[in-house]
Amino acid sequence: MERLHAVIRGDVQGVGFRYFVQRTAQRLGLRGWVRNNDDGTVELVAEGERGKLEDLERAVRAGPRMARVDSVDARWSQASGNLQGFDLAW
């Protein structure tokens, strides 16, 4: 099990990006959270199998239809194992 921590920059707030991430992560069976940051970025932490996390990273790089993704800063580490579900964080 691994952890993906990503910060997404671009036109990613107010376009359903967090809900897109949540639906994708839930479909993939991942645990974690996603939130909007004050600087206009979206941040996520997800844990699960590496292949499914890579699928999530690819989806995030494409984004939902109304979003424009300029960059994704993705960092990988070992899973903590203490996350439940996949939540919208505030």
Q: What is the pLDDT of residues 45-83, one digit of tens each?
A: 999 999 999 999 999 999 999 999 999 999 999 999 999
Q: What is the mean pLDDT of the chain?
A: 97
Catalytic annotation present for 18: yes
Domain boundaries, the chain: 2-77
Amino acid 35: pLDDT: 98
pLDDT above 90 for 90: no
Domain 2-77: which CATH number of 3.40.50.360, 3.10.20.80, 3.30.70.100, 3.40.50.150: 3.30.70.100
What is the reported pTM?
A: 0.95
Flag whether pLDDT at 23 surpasses 90: yes
Distance CA 38, CA 46 (A): 20
By C-alpha distance, which of 14, 34, 15 is closest to 24? Answer: 34
Annotated catalytic residue: which of 3, 18, 31, 50? 18
Amino acid identity at 31: R
Taking only the tens place, the pLDDT of each residue in 73-86 is 999 999 999 999 99
**What 3-state DSSP class applies to 81?**
coil
Of the candidates 23, 31, 36, 50, the residue annotated as catalytic is 36
